[in-house]
Structure 1
Amino acid sequence: MCKKFFLVFLMFFVGATSAWSETYKPFVLNNTQIVPIHSKFTGRDHELVVVLPSSYATNPNKKYPVLYYLDAYWDTPLLVSTYGNLTYDNVVPEFIMVGLSYPSSASYDKERRLDYTFTVAGEQSGKANLFLDFIQKEAAPLIEAKFRGDKKDRVLSGNSLGGLFTITAAYQAPNFFSGFIAISPAASWDNGALFKLDESYANQNKSLNGRMFISYGTTEYPSFRDPIIQFQKQIEARQYQGLELLNYSMEGLDHTSVKGDGYVRGLMWVWKTKKPAGPSGLERAITGAK
């Protein structure tokens, strides 16, 4: 009897599961698409998670600023939500988002360690120069040719090792990006290699163009947090010509919880000069203003 009862229950469970899957559909982020791309520079497969602004289809001749953000396999839902909130409040212009990602079969931790670090410190590291070539010479030209990205207004962003890569790109690809958002950058990487890069650059250059946002959370692990604070002070003291710098701290936030506030503040900062005129969405809803 027990065996018979179990078989009946199993059949019921399978039927219920099937009915559940037929009744409900998955939640999908609108205006998104994944573009596979093989890089001749890294020699590996990559994916671009392209998120288009809502006006894209109705403005076929318009070019849009572009945010290139790292770790798209983790942060795309956050960025899509943040973008919607900021454009509703009318504090940033419409822009295209391009998430830098890998195929789902990849080991993200290994891939990002290889691509986001510019010096070798252990295995699977130190290939950021090739990844930067991939962005500059393959990803960006594709976005600008097929999706009307504005080559005069590119912003790069990332967290942790992604933040490290973002800052190093400012030195190694001058004038390619107009803005940089480095959230909790791994400033301690390879015994302070970032500090040495800045020092070497400063010995030969007085200018560093772009709007840059560097942040950290006050409750991050001290040995990770304190080098960020030190680097903020170092780059601020340089007083580079052409650099609009915002150093920012997030009270009571740790290493990944900083992303929400970091992206809000960072995006507002890099596009501060392009804040649209007019009221916010809430003001329009309440007053009928346009």
Structure 2
Amino acid sequence: MTNSLASDLCRLVAFGLLAVASPTSAQQVERKVGSIAHLPALAGDYFALSSEKVGRTFHIYVRLPEGYESNPKQSYPVVYLLDGDSTFPMLAPLHLFMHYDDQMPEAIIVGIAYGGFKPGVNMRHIDFRMASDEGKPGGAPQFLSMLEGELIPRIEGRFRTDPARRIIVGQSRGGSAVLQAAWLKPGLFWGHIASNPGREPDTKLLFGMDLPPPNMQRDGYLIVTSGSRDRDYLRGTALAWRDRIASRDDFPWDTRFVDIPGGTHAADLGNAYRAAMRIMFDKAPAKGTKSQD
């Protein structure tokens, strides 16, 4: 083995050990050309999560709050983003700007990514559904078990989190998964944001919500946002959810419907996130308002 090759191997081993060490800031990780570490609005951590519950590996990106290292006694809300491949680079910097302009509390932002959009890599059509269009069982129960038993304990073991302020965010089919999480795992998350949620063939957006609600202490939020220019069939289902669910006060959550005037299916996720977070963190009208722009 040449001295040059040995030197290269040593550098690779050293970088690998650094990458799997205890949670660090971006400044403590070697900055490679083209690396995400050069983007301070996304600075934090990354790890691969090999899930036994689901049987696949997820890529977990973590944005740490500004000032995280200089405030060692402070804990933070945690926002879990479904479809993290696209939602993490979109919403993590937005949250920083909301902290500046809206006085929004800083938060730890966790993106749950597949690593690509291609079929066979991106499995949202399984993980976010109770049943397929053909009636076959979906993978939502396993995915929720992964969140509860594998990801959340790891995040809360590595970072200074506030377990009473866990939030889950999903867009489209991911929004449907947020509603499933609320109903199937009540109490796991304090805040639920479903942006232009997809609908299931049989249950639409209800997932049992027309049945007696869970016997729980009232706490947290369940928010559906809908763009006025969303696809007709999704917009209609969202409005039906507004009329049937949002005005009820017997759920364990404060249920809200947020209308996004002029909003389209995907491009207004940032507006939906901002509006919902402002409701949950003290920017809201009194309960009973069915829409909020």
Task: Give the TM-score of the pair, scaled to structure 1.
Answer: 0.78
Letter in 1 for 2:57: D
Which residue of structure 2 lines up, in the alignment, with residue 257 of structure 1? Answer: 267
**What amino acid does structure 2 have at the position aligned with 1:258?**
D
Instruction: Say which of 163, 169, 194 aligns to 2:175.
Output: 163
Contact 2:115 2:122 in 1 (8 A): no
Mapped to 1, the partners of 2:216 and 2:245 lie a distance apart of 12
Tell me the equivalent position of 1:102.
114
1:224 counterpart = 2:234:
yes
CA drift of 1:68 comes to 0.5
What does residue range 202-241 of structure 1 map to in structure 2 within 5 Å?
202=213, 205=215, 209-241=219-251
Q: Residues 60, 164 of structure 1: CA spacing in aligned structure 2 closer, same or farther, 3 A cutoff? A: same
Q: Which residue of 2 aligns with 1:149?
A: 161
Pairwise CA distance, 1:126: 1.3
Contact preservation (8 Å) 2:247, 2:256: no
Question: What CA distance in whole angstroms lies between the structure 2 residues aligned with 1:257 and 1:109?
Answer: 23
Alignment of 1:38-117 (within 5 A): 38-104=50-116, 107=119, 110-117=122-129
Q: How many residues align?
A: 249
Contact (CA 8 Å) 1:119, 1:193: kept in 2 or not?
no
State the Cα distance separating 1:106 from its structure 2 match. Answer: 6.0
Residue 91 of structure 1 aligns with an amino acid whose one-letter code is Q
Give the 3 Å change call, closer, same or farther, for CA 155–105 of structure 1 in structure 2: closer
Partners of 1:200 and 1:260 in 2: CA distance: 32
Post-superposition Cα deviations, 1:67-115, rounded to whole Å, max 9, x if no partner, equal 0011110112211221121100243111100111123486378511111
Distance 1:84 1:105 in 2: 26
| Distance (whole Å) between structure 1 residues aligned to residue 47 and residue 216 of structure 2 | 39
1:66 Cα shift?
A: 0.2
The 1:195/1:242 distance shift into structure 2, 3 A limit, reads closer
Give the superposition deviation at 1:158.
0.6
Contact 1:160 1:183 in 2 (8 A): yes
The equivalent residue for 2:13 is none
Q: What is the percentage of aligned positions where both structures have the same residue?
A: 25
Give the secondary structure class of the aligned counterpart of 1:194. coil
Are 1:189 and 2:200 an aligned pair? yes
Other structure's SS at 1:189 match = coil
User: Which blocks of at least 5 consecutive residues in structure 2 are unaligned?
Assistant: 1-32, 285-293
Asked if 1:200 is matched to 2:211, the reply is yes
| Larger Rg, first or second structure (1 or 2) | 1
CA-based RMSD of the aligned residues comes to 2.6
Secondary structure of 1:199's counterpart equals coil
2:272, 2:278 → 1: CA distance?
10
* Residue deviations 1:50-78 (CA, integer Å, cap 9, x gap): 11001111122322110001111011221
Measured at CA, do residues 253 and 168 of structure 1 come closer, stay the same or move farther in structure 2, by a change above 3 Å?
A: same
Quick one: which amino acid aligns to residue 126 of structure 2? L
| 2:284 aligned with 1:267 | no
TM-score by length of 2: 0.77
Q: Give 1:174's match in structure 2, choosing from 186, 195, 201.
A: 186
Query: Deviation of residue 163 (structure 1)?
Result: 0.6
CA contact (8 A) 1:113 1:125 kept: no
- Going from structure 1 to structure 2, the CA distance change for 1:146 and 1:273 (only over 3 Å counts) comes to farther
Aligned pair in 2 of structure 1 residues 76, 197: CA closer, same or farther (>3 Å)? same
CA-to-aligned-CA distance 1:208-262 (integer Å, 9 cap, x gap)? 6421221111111211210011012211243225422221111122101221210
Stretch deviating more after TM superposition (97-106 or 136-145): 97-106
Counterpart residue type for residue 170 of structure 1: A
**2:135, 2:277 → 1: CA distance?**
33
